[in-house]
Each structure stands twice: as structure tokens, then as C-alpha cells.
Structure 1
Amino acid sequence: MKLPRSNGSRIYLVHLLAVAVGLGMVVLGPWRAGLMVIGVSFMVSAVARMVVPIDHTGMLRVRGKLFDVVWMGFLGVSLLVLAILVPS
């Protein structure tokens, strides 16, 4: 298997792996921990989108930088709040 050339694409693939692990955790039982894994993954990806230079973003870039950072940050925080506030 050949790794992607850009750092952003590698970060994106790690993000997808983390989301898959989180979804697996949600399905298997510890749903709070699964949502937290997914939420933290989105927040780390938002920070990575801010830091990685534009010519190395690869698949991490969807729209403009501001949109990507705000949207991934919003999703990450929303999932963390959901995992914390929903009663058992």
C-alpha cells in the first residue's frame, strides 16, 4: 500500500480511522467513549487544518480554510457536549 504524498491526506486518513473506531465503539456499547473519540478526532483535524500549509493539505481541504476549521470544530465540540450531557 502506498501512503499519500501530502501531510493533510495522512492526517485525513488517521481521522477516518479514528471515526471508524469511534463508530465501532458506539455500536459495541460504550457509546459515550465512541462519541468522544469521534469528537476529539474532529477537533484535532480542525487544528491540523489551521496548521498545515495550503500546499500540503490534500484531502484535509474541503472548502476554504475558515469553513473547514469552523465546521470541524463545531462538529467536534457538538459531539463532546452530546456525549457529556445525554443522560444514561
Structure 2
Amino acid sequence: MLGVLAAALIVLFDRWRRGSFVFGAALLIGALLRAFIPSSKAGLLQVRGKFFDVAVMTTVGAVMLWLATSIDSLGTD
């Protein structure tokens, strides 16, 4: 949650590419944690089954990182 909050704050300061990069990285870290933490201790990382949670967070995180690095900034950061 701290990574998502940090990404939101970065976006609020008009740094959308950096914010989306931080958000994607936070999702990948969340996927890694969900993969290795037992379900009884997963808390907010647990939405569905472990495989589904890890697959969706990894996919969305990778897409966010790809978007953050591939889209032209058009003069912004």
C-alpha cells in the first residue's frame, strides 16, 4: 500500500511517468510477496486464489512498467 500511495503522490505532483513506474513496481513487489507469503498472512494481497492474484498483479505491473517506459513523455517527466 505504501508503494501505491507513493505513486499517487508522485502523480499529484505532475510526474505521471514516474508515478506509473512506481505503481507498476509496487504491483510486481506485491505479486512477489503474494507468491511467497502464506494465505493466512496475506491480508490485502489476497483477493482470489494465489495463482490468480500473482498472475494478475504480475501482468498489470509489467504492463504499467512497459507503458511508463515506452510512451513518449511529450515534454513531461
How far apart in 1 are the matches of 2:27 and 2:63? 10
Question: Which residue number in structure 1 is paired with residue 6 of structure 2?
Answer: 21
Work out whether 1:40 is the aligned partner of 2:14.
no
Work out whether 1:64 is the aligned partner of 2:49.
yes
Q: Residues 8-51 of structure 1, C-alpha deviation per residue, up to 9 Å, x if partnerless?
A: xxxxxxxx221121122112122111111100000000000000
CA RMSD of aligned residues (A): 1.0
How far apart in 1 are the matches of 2:69 and 2:13? 19
* Structure 2: tracts of 5 or more residues without a match: none
Question: Which residue number in structure 2 is paired with residue 79 of structure 1?
Answer: 64
Q: TM-score, normalised by structure 1?
A: 0.77
Runs of 4+ in 1 over 6 A off after TM superposition: none
Q: How far did 1:58 drift?
A: 2.0
SS in 2 for 1:62: coil
Query: How many aligned residue pairs are there?
Result: 73
Q: TM-score, normalised by structure 2?
A: 0.86
